């Protein structure tokens, strides 16, 4: 698996765009704080392997 933001456990994708949650949010001049905006194909060097998504269908097959 490629080491890029879209495959990292620190990547979070709300409705619009993605953010990196590897570090705390950064304060802005207007008093709000945000995580850095990133693209799925970005890379920062702090890649952490994301756990595989849960697949309840596989578990059902294994216990059937």
DSSP of 1-64: ---SGGGBTTEE--SSSEEE-SSPPEE-TTS-EEPPEE-TT---S---BPPPPP-HHHHHHHH-
| Per-residue confidence band for 57, with pLDDT thresholds at 50, 70 and 90 | low
Domain ranges of the chain: 1-46
β-bridge partners, 33: 27
- Measured CA to CA, the distance from residue 51 to residue 61 in angstroms comes to 21
Single pTM value for the model: 0.65
In Å, how far from its chain's centre is CA 56? 21
Mean pLDDT, rounded, for 35-57: 82
Per-residue confidence (pLDDT) for residue 59, from 0 to 100: 56
């Amino acid at each position: 698996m490629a080491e890029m933001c879209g495959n990292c456990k620190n990547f979070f994708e709300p409705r619009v765009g993605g953010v990196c949650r590897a570090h705390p949010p950064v304060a802005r001049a207007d008093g709000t704080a945000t995580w850095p905006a990133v693209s799925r194909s970005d890379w920062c060097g702090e890649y952490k392997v994301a756990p595989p998504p849960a697949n309840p269908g596989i578990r059902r097959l294994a216990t059937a």
